[in-house]
């Protein structure tokens, strides 16, 4: 099979990590019956790690999100309870 130009070692690693992440979250959904988006899970871990004393700007930096994306994530999570 001929290798595609964009399929270098880093791309294959990224693809493997992405597939692994999807498999883990699918397994968690199957086990607990409730889907939690990876960004929501990461936000909760971050909030718990700082005992609820984190800001949207800090959360954005930790999750590599734009500030407005972190704010939207928080709003959606608050609506879900």
For residue 41, what pLDDT is reported? 86
Task: Give per-residue pLDDT as tens, 21-57.
Answer: 888 888 888 887 777 888 888 899 999 999 989 999 9
Statement: residue 1 has pLDDT above 60: no
Report helix, strand and coil shares of the chain as percent, to nearest 5: 70, 0, 30
pTM of the predicted model as reported, rounded to 2 decimal places: 0.66
Q: List the Cα angle 68/56/33 in 5-degree steps.
A: 90
Task: Give per-residue pLDDT as tens, 66-75.
Answer: 999 999 999 9
For residue 39, what pLDDT is reported? 87
């Amino acid at each position: 099979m001929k290798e595609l130009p964009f399929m270098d070692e880093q791309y294959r690693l990224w693809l493997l990590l992405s597939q692994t992440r999807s498999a883990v979250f699918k397994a968690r959904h199957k086990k607990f019956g409730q889907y939690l988006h990876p960004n929501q899970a990461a936000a909760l871990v971050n909030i718990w790690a700082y005992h609820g004393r984190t800001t949207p700007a800090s959360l954005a930096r930790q999750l590599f999100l734009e500030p407005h994306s972190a704010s939207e994530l928080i709003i959606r999570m608050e609506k879900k309870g």
